[in-house]
Amino acid sequence: MKKFLVPLAIGSALVSVPALAQNASPFTGPRVEAVLGYDVSKAGSSVDDDANVDNDQSIDGLLYGVGIGYDHDFGSIVAGAEAELTDSTAKTEFDNGDFEGFGFGNVKANRDLYIGGRIGVKATPRTLIYGKAGYTNAKFDVLSSDGTTEFRQDFDADGYRVGAGVEQALSERTFAKVEYRYSNYARAEVDFDGDIPDSERFDIDTDRHQVVASVGMRF
């Protein structure tokens, strides 16, 4: 009897392996992704330009970068941690002689670091709707010169980010996402090159809106 039970047990185990693989969640495990989207930074709601009502006090451009994360499917919800490094082409412009600044002067958006977490629910077995929140640190390069020397310093701003999005599993290992996120920066300092110490931290009010799409892979 035992001679028949051993092959039967091995056969049952072999059948169960593909079944387990088929039932594995596409929302569990480490992930890496490429990020591309639209980025706009503007003065906060408490800042106004009464001298020129046509000045929108904003800069916008193309956002691009990479992200990493880890998620776990708990059955009814999916939760995880994530980090991201992006850059942006947004910078101040002169439109028909009108300087379009947003409180920092003549600047260009530099790198943006983000670390946070997200939590979501599965609309379908392969579609995740989620919200996110975390910390963001952004730099804005100062674009200034006295005609002879170019000044090399930037604003280093700290703030928070919240957002929401939809992730679609394309296969067991690949996915695509679309999300909106809002960031607010309330504290900053001026970083100087060389031996000049950084400035004291000061209050700011800068809003940042981003709409991005991502494609990535899980491991």
- Please give the pLDDT value at position 189: 84
**0.75 cut: is pTM over it?**
yes
**Nearest-angstrom CA–CA distance, 9 and 33:** 41
Q: pLDDT tens track of the chain, all 219 residues?
A: 444 444 444 444 444 444 334 457 899 999 999 999 999 998 775 545 555 554 557 889 999 999 999 999 999 899 999 999 999 999 887 666 556 666 677 788 999 999 999 999 999 999 999 999 999 999 988 876 555 555 667 888 999 999 999 999 999 899 999 999 999 999 888 776 656 556 677 788 889 999 999 999 999
Find out whether 30 and 69 touch, Cβ atoms under 8 Å: yes
Find out whether 113 and 148 touch, Cβ atoms under 8 Å: no
Domains of the chain: 25-218 (2.40.160.20)
